[in-house]
Structure 1
């Protein structure tokens, strides 16, 4: 990632922005719908001496910028009874099927990458990673799950576990979820960091 132009597409607190800085990113851009999230990203970066360009809005607004070598995204993916997220829910609520942000991200991401760029998306298996893979491939990029792991439910998932079970997203009594990381790149060129 050394010297790469990096976009954190759903910045939140800026954790991925800071990870990219630590890995040697050349420039950093963070975008989020939430002004509070952007303030958190700004503060966390400032405290660590990291320079970042902040953009308020949907990640699709990044289409007007030069393309990125790396796009990182940990988008909202938790299924929710309400169709529109607001307030703190912008960080996790993603509509009744958990796909309201993921579907748009999968369509937009290929347009954000340079010819040799890569994207990394993290989301829950509850929100159908196979659908993300299909959408990304239909957008003309390679996509594969490169790692996964099981984690205990956090406060949001615990608070709506009953609703998730009643709607068939999880088994009754389930207290953990599988998270996946999808790597996205183009077939026509090696990905950033690869030899070839």
Structure 2
């Protein structure tokens, strides 16, 4: 199979690997029903299936990513159902025992023109989190109790720039027990690198800062 172009599919990076590590440490998946939201190429869902999940359903907006994920699942005989559509489609087949999500969380100013963004950043829907990075995070926090079965777990990865504390508060307000279970400091990728000078000028980051903290938040439903 020809490798996808960077513009077509978000390629797994530090955040994907950190989320997979947290998923593997979250507890036994055998016999559990799992959803992979904002699935991209499907690596999180594939990891859940390999960890013994009873069923895995992945949801992804990008047709190119869905095609790639389905092809990989078929070639490797990995039992993951990949559906084209917004993550909210998972509400139609809830509840799940485990929900994992690597949402778009990069804050991008509304005045930023597409021509100012790097061509190798991957599809914009995979990382553009709105002006504050919370375009998906806030609705996900509100929907989490509906998505989860009793005793279920949500795992979501995000950048410090999208407000880790805010996500924990929103999940707590929704009635879940939330905390950071994994974190890592990583160098800026192409999108943040393209924004860095403007962020320095606005005082959002210190001069010369070129790394961010990403975190996995776990939220459990009683």
TM range (shorter): 0.7 to 0.9
Aligned length in residues: 187
Higher RCO by CA contacts (8 Å cutoff, separation 6 or greater): 2
Answering whether residue 159 of structure 2 is matched by residue 131 of structure 1, we say no
Deviation at 1:130, TM superposition (A): 0.7
Q: TM-score, normalised by structure 2?
A: 0.78
Q: Where do residues 1-196 of structure 1 align in structure 2 (5 Å cutoff)?
A: 1-82=29-110, 88-186=123-221, 188=222
The SS at the match of 2:110 is coil
Q: TM-score, normalised by structure 1?
A: 0.88
Q: Distance in 2 between matches of 1:21 and 1:171?
A: 41
The SS at the match of 1:95 is coil
Query: Any unmatched runs of 5+ in structure 2?
Result: 1-28, 115-121
Q: Is the 8 A contact 1:94 1:100 kept in 2?
A: yes
Cα RMSD after superposing both structures:
2.1
Q: Distance in 1 between matches of 2:46 and 2:104?
A: 19
Q: Deviations over 1:63-94 (max 9, x none)?
A: 1113101000010100112389x981001011
Query: Any unmatched runs of 5+ in structure 1?
Result: 189-196
Q: Is the 8 A contact 1:126 1:169 kept in 2?
A: no
